[in-house]
Amino acid sequence: MSISGGSGAVSTEQTSRLDRVDRSILRLLQQDGRASIRSVAERVHVSRANAYARIARMVEDGIIRGFTARIDHERAGQGASAYITLKIVQNSWRTVREQLLALPGVAHIALVGGEFDVLLLVHTADNHALRELVLGQIQGIPQVLATQTLLVFEETDQVPPV
């Protein structure tokens, strides 16, 4: 599928424009991002042109932010996964985020409210690499005040409903 684009944030107006067919298309693409336009069209009972136009619109509106593969991290040589919580210096989110984005193995970064400021998901080859990432790189960021590492023992890949 070769549809590109995407403008960023999605407004309430854009989400309210999603009808039953759009939501069905989104569910199908979440399950198989490599599905052909023809396959998607057949499964949601619309023409190929209609399916293509809907997908293109959702990409352009930023509803679809990309097409990606779901990875078994352990089989891909990343046997250690962890959630890391960070407390950071007030008003340093953008600076910290940019530094975290440059680190290897970072899968997800979220600014959150509550006891800590940032929640980070990482995948590394092993516990030694995880230790180096946390102690050597993350704690080396000047705006990071404290970290807590939560090891992941087992993961279940869940595609959220649309």
pLDDT at residue 12, rounded to an integer: 52
Whether residues 87 and 148 fall in one domain: yes
Q: Specify the pTM.
A: 0.72
Whether residues 131 and 90 fall in one domain: yes
pLDDT at residue 5, rounded to an integer: 45
Contact between 23 and 162 under an 8 Å Cβ cutoff? The reply is: yes
pLDDT at residue 157, rounded to an integer: 74
Read off the CATH number of the domain in which 134 is found: 3.30.70.920
Q: 12's torsion region: left (phi>0), alpha (psi -120 to 50) or beta? A: alpha
Q: Looking at the 3D structure of the chain, how many domains does it have?
A: 2
161 assigned to some structural domain: no
Write out pLDDT tens, residues 43-89: 999 999 999 999 999 999 999 998 888 888 888 888 899 999 999 99
5 assigned to some structural domain: no
Residue type at 45 in one-letter notation? H
Write out pLDDT tens, residues 82-139: 999 999 999 999 999 999 999 999 999 999 999 999 999 999 999 999 999 999 999 9
Read off the CATH number of the domain in which 34 is found: 1.10.10.10
Range of the domain at 16: 12-60
160 assigned to some structural domain: no
Number of helices (H) and strands (E) in the chain: give both, helices first.
6, 4
Q: What DSSP character marks residue 69? A: -
Beta strands in 20-143 (DSSP E): 80-88, 106-111, 118-124
